Structure formats: C-alpha cells, structure tokens
Amino acid sequence: MDKILRVDVSGDKPSYVEEPLGDYAGMGGRGLTSAMVSKEVPADSHPLGPENKLVIAPGLLSGSAAVNAGRLSVGCKSPLTGGIKEANAGGQGANVLARLGYAAIVLEGERQGEELYILRIGKKGMDVVQDASLEKLTNYQLMERFHGEYGKNGAMISIGPAGEMRLANSTVAVTDMEGRPTRHAGRGGVGAVMGSKGIKAILLDGSEAPVRRPQDPEAFKQANKQFAEGLRRHPVTGQGMAAYGTNVLTNVINESGAYPTYNFRQGQYPDAERISGETQAELEKSRGGKASHGCHRGCIMHCSGEFVDKDGNYVTKQPEYETIWAHGGNCGIGDLDAIARMDYLNDDFGLDTIEMGATIGVAMEAGLLDFGDADRVMELLQEVGKGTPLGRILGSGAAVTAKAFGVERAPVVKNQAMPAYDPRAIKGIGVTYATSPMGADHTAGYAVATNIMKVGGDVDPLSNEGQAALSRDLQVATAALDSTGMCLFIAFAILDQPDTFQALIDMLNAFYGLEMTADDVNGLGKSILDKERDFNTRAGFTAMDDRLPRYFRREALAPHQAVFDVSDQELDRVFAK
C-alpha cells in the first residue's frame, strides 16, 4: 500500500497516473482522505465543480490479516453539508484495494460531456473504458453486468442513478462477500461527487493480490490473536451483535426514551417490538435467512445478515438499526418486510437510508403523505430513482425538503440529518451532532456507548454535565480509529478492555515497525480533527454551525420531558485549545 492512483477525468478520456505517497506517507483511511481534501481541495469550491476531489482510501491495517480491518473511507467536500466529508463503508473494497498496493484512488479534474466510464484495476494493470449503456443503471444491475469480473476475488465500487444525477443524498456502494452492492459510504452525498467525475464503477480484480505482510510477523500475529480474543469476550462485540445485529439497539434505545419517532416528536415508538433486533432475527431464521453474517472477509463480529421474504427469496442484506429506525419508527412503519424492501431500493438507487428516512419523515410532517403509509414511501423512493422533480427534491435531503415544503422541524445539523438517537434524551450524542465537522453523525463520537450502554464509563444521558468532554474524547478516538480500517464497533471492546486497546496499538506497531503509544493515537485523532475543522472554517463555517435546531431546546421530548440544554458555551469549548 505504497502508492496513490490519480484518475484525471479532464480531456477527451480520463487518464491515470501512479505516484508515491510522498507527504501522505504513514496515513490511511480517514486520516488520508481528510489530509488530501484539506490540502488539495479549495475550501470555497463548489462540491460538484472541477476543483473537488473524491478520495477513496483503505485503512492502515486493511488488506492484512488483522480481523475487522476492512473499512473503506471516501472523502471529499460534501454536496450535502458544504464542509469536509469522510463517509465509511464495509464490504470487500478496502481489503482488495490495499492488497493491490493502493493507499488511495483519487478522482479529480473536470469532466467533459456526460460520458460514463468504468475503471478496472488489477495486478496486471488498469484501464478506463467509456460505456454509454451504463446510463441510469442501478447498483444491482451493475452487479448483474460485472459480477463475473469481480465476484470471486475482487470488489466493485459504484454509484446508482442518485449519484449519476448528482443528488446530495447519494452514496458510493461497495460490494460484500457475495458481490452484492449492500455496503455504502452513505453520508454527505459522496456519490454525487463520483457522479460529477463520470466514473460509474470501479472494478477491483483481487486475484494474485497477496495479503499484506507486517514488518514483525510474530508480534503482529500475537497482537492480532489477543485483539480477536478481546472482541469475542466482550458481551456486545462477541455476543449481542452476532445474535441480533445492530438492530439489537431498537429495544434498548426505545426503553431509554431516546428513540426518535414521528419526525422526532416523541422518544418511544409503541410498535418497537415488531421491528426489534430480536423479532428480526427470529423472522430471518424462520424463513431460512441469515441473522449473523460478516460484511467482509476477516470480520469476526458478524453483525450483518441476510433478509429473505416469506418464500425464502433474497430481499436485501439484514437492514441495520439506523435503517430500521429511519424508515420504521421515525415514519411510523412497524413492518419489517416493508422496511426491507425500502432498504433494497435505497441500496439499488444509491441513497443513504438515514438521510432518506429522515427526509420522508419531514415529508410526512409536511402532509405529503401520512405517517405509516409504507406503500407511498416506496412510490416516493421510485420517484427519487427516476429523478422526477419531486424525487430530486427528496433526493437532496431533509433540509432541502423542509425548505421546499415550509417545515421548520428538520432534524439536521450542517444540513445533514440526525440518526436514530434523540439528542434531548442522549445529550452526549447531541454534542457530537452539533460539533462534529461532518454534520449530524452518530459514528463521529458515539456517546450512546457511555450514556446508555455504560461502556467506557457512565455519564447520565439526561444530564448536561460531562457531555462535552465525553463527546470530544470520543470524536478524537474515532478519528484515529477511522484511519486504521477497523470497524467502529470495536470501540465497545477497546473502551472497556485496556488490553484489547493495547493489542490494537501493538498490531500497528508490529505492522509498520513503529513505537506508538496511546498518547500517539490520541494525537493522531486530534490532528485529523484539526485539519477537518480548519477546512470547514475556510469554507465559511462558524460557531453558529455547531448548533442543533432551536426546537430541540424549545420542545420537550416525552417520556422524560427533556430538552437539549448543553449550553452554547459548552459546545464552543469542545474543541477550544
């Protein structure tokens, strides 16, 4: 993983060049995407203009024998937020790209015309081919077309019609172990930037691409073993997620009164049990689906699965907690089969399920459809995929939809929709929503772990005390973690088990011949956030952008009758030096 592939889409046909890492040596994942975007993209440029770049980077440990190191970072200036963006995806892409020797693929330059291209990369070389027949193909149609090329040993990175239309809520899809486009770099409209460059899909041929070797094989082997044992013995990463997937959180968050329902009007959904992880797993097993499955080779947590219909036919990958909340409880839809079909449509068209579900909630608030109307939701998703005028509004996200229909109650920060935790009842995650450079993003600093699950400590979710420090520390740690290629969910184990955290550091040291300490990891996270916040400042962001919508301070949330009352002064001190 010692080179960068730059693809320049200017001219009659995209050209490409390989170059050494240079100033980016020692970086990976989010650390590399944010460094490149911060340095090479003018902060005041238009996200869909020629100055923006899309950076696709595996993590520092991707492509090695390290367990759970298959996360892929996709970075750019966001069409949704207008700030810096790193969106993260599982699937096979990161490991294959790393084993092919690439620390990053950079799509840059000004596209000429509306031609679409396929980029093929393998050990024997690469090429770029124009193909007009790709126009408006969905991600699953691309899979049908190209599965024979990448399916066995490789991966496909692609955009659906949403990215092709440059919609602000469009994703970059990454194929899973079965070659299906089910893992998405979802947040911030990264698919629109890929679409603006005219690259419809990147086919990675992983045949003859060896596993990356550490500098100290024995030390790496021992550290990896200890790390895997730590994941297996933790009750969340070793038991709960494998049994019920990420949707294990539905009952937990609903019981805590922090489950946003009916466009964030109340904190509990009366039909939560019908769409819970426990119900979902039972349904999948009874139909012959899979309630436990990894999204990439090397995953040992197996929090994904396979959802099938009543006849045992594949519908979609096991919908995640966020998806089931977004299209379920948030929209008043207590039907797992309907939610699974919505998940498939989002994956197929290339849409972020969090943003799409929140957008539909806003549309319901506006009276465009009724809460609970699953059939109409699927009709609207089809409109987005077709690019009708209404579909383009909805495909631009919750903030745009709220403006179009005159709705104040849009649950967004920096124009990005909030995920499945109400910030009034989990105030640490509210601080993360407000202050993360990424916009409202639970993964940027997952305070839910400590506020609700009591992982890594215990901070009362309903108190305004200690939330700013909690969020800051988690945002720093997460930025570093996102650089390794490790799945975010390892955080449960490393927060509770110091020896598991040390094993992760030992892996990095053995792989690269380093002598990093915990303080060095902390410093890495801080340096990444400094770059991201500096970019946003140059893009015009101020302290006023680090705020939740005012109605979260004004409207009390049942059942706790809580408001978000972490002061603006506390928010401003999160990253004060």
- Residue by residue, DSSP assigns 100-130 as TTEEEEEEES---TT--EEEEEETTEEEEEE
Alpha helices in 396-466, H assignment, sequence order: 398-404, 427-435, 448-451
Strands 155-158 and 172-174, bridge-based pairing: antiparallel
Q: What is the mean pLDDT of residues 540-558?
A: 97
pLDDT exceeds cutoff 80 at 542: yes
Instruction: For residue 557, list its beta bridge partners.
Output: 562
Q: What is the mean pLDDT of residues 418-430?
A: 98
pLDDT exceeds cutoff 90 at 297: no
Residue 488 lies inside a defined structural domain of this protein: yes
Per DSSP, the three-state class of 435 is helix
Residue 148 lies inside a defined structural domain of this protein: yes
pLDDT exceeds cutoff 90 at 404: yes
Q: What is the mean pLDDT of residues 333-345?
A: 98
The dihedral through the CA atoms of 78, 80, 83, 88 has a sign that is: negative
Rounded distance, CA 242 to CA 234, Å?
12
- Eight-state DSSP code of residue 18: E
Among residues 389, 420, 451, the one where a domain terminates is 420
Token pair listed for 39:
């340095």
| Residue 165 confidence (pLDDT) | 98
What percentage of the chain carries pLDDT values higher than 70?
100
- Residue 274's CB is within 10 A of a number of other CB atoms, namely 16
| Residue 152 confidence (pLDDT) | 84
Residue 209 lies inside a defined structural domain of this protein: no
Whether residues 550 and 565 share a domain: the answer is: yes
Among residues 403, 420, 437, the one where a domain terminates is 420
pLDDT exceeds cutoff 80 at 577: no
Residue 90 lies inside a defined structural domain of this protein: yes
Rounded distance, CA 447 to CA 457, Å?
10
Whether residues 282 and 362 share a domain: the answer is: yes
Whether residues 22 and 74 share a domain: the answer is: yes
* DSSP letters for 448-501: HHHHTS-TTS---TT-STTHHHHHHHHHHHHHHHHHHT--GGGHHHHHH-HHHH
- Provide the CATH number for the domain around residue 431: 1.10.599.10
Distances (CA, A) of 405 to 170, 262, 360, 390, 411: 21, 17, 12, 11, 15
Whether residues 219 and 298 share a domain: the answer is: no
pLDDT exceeds cutoff 80 at 291: no
Q: Which residue do the tokens 């005028």 mark?
A: 389
Whether residues 391 and 430 share a domain: the answer is: no
- Provide the CATH number for the domain around residue 395: 1.10.569.10
Residue 416 lies inside a defined structural domain of this protein: yes
| Residue 280 confidence (pLDDT) | 93
Residue 95 lies inside a defined structural domain of this protein: yes
Rounded distance, CA 193 to CA 167, Å?
9
- Provide the CATH number for the domain around residue 124: 3.60.9.10
Cβ–Cβ under 8 Å, residues 354 and 344:
no
| Residue 365 confidence (pLDDT) | 97
pLDDT exceeds cutoff 80 at 1: no
Residue 507 lies inside a defined structural domain of this protein: yes
pLDDT exceeds cutoff 90 at 343: yes
Whether residues 289 and 396 share a domain: the answer is: yes
pLDDT exceeds cutoff 90 at 300: no
Whether residues 260 and 315 share a domain: the answer is: yes
Local confidence band at 504 (pLDDT 50, 70, 90 cut-offs): very high
Whether residues 463 and 444 share a domain: the answer is: yes
pLDDT exceeds cutoff 90 at 305: no
Range of the domain at 432: 214-244+423-577
Q: Is the peptide bond before 559 cis (omega within 30 degrees of 0)?
A: yes
Whether residues 383 and 347 share a domain: the answer is: yes
Q: What is the mean pLDDT of residues 320-336?
A: 97
Per DSSP, the three-state class of 557 is strand
| Residue 290 confidence (pLDDT) | 81
Rounded distance, CA 195 to CA 88, Å?
18
| Residue 151 confidence (pLDDT) | 84
Whether residues 335 and 374 share a domain: the answer is: yes
Domain count, the chain: 3
Rounded distance, CA 487 to CA 503, Å?
15
Whether residues 61 and 173 share a domain: the answer is: yes
Rounded distance, CA 25 to CA 23, Å?
6
Rounded distance, CA 254 to CA 328, Å?
13
Mean confidence (pLDDT) of the chain = 96
| Residue 342 confidence (pLDDT) | 98
| Residue 339 confidence (pLDDT) | 98
Spacing of C-alpha 25 from chain mean position: 25
- Taking only the tens place, the pLDDT of each residue in 235-287 is 988 888 888 889 999 999 999 999 999 999 999 999 999 999 999 999 999 99
| Residue 217 confidence (pLDDT) | 97
Among residues 392, 420, 448, the one where a domain terminates is 420
Q: What is the pTM of this model?
A: 0.96
Whether residues 398 and 531 share a domain: the answer is: no
- Taking only the tens place, the pLDDT of each residue in 55-80 is 999 999 999 999 999 999 999 999 99
Q: What is the mean pLDDT of residues 540-563?
A: 97
pLDDT exceeds cutoff 80 at 471: yes
Rounded distance, CA 17 to CA 7, Å?
7
Local confidence band at 124 (pLDDT 50, 70, 90 cut-offs): confident
Residue 249 lies inside a defined structural domain of this protein: no
Q: What is the mean pLDDT of residues 124-132?
A: 92
pLDDT exceeds cutoff 90 at 295: no
- Of residues 2 and 161, the one with the higher pLDDT is 161
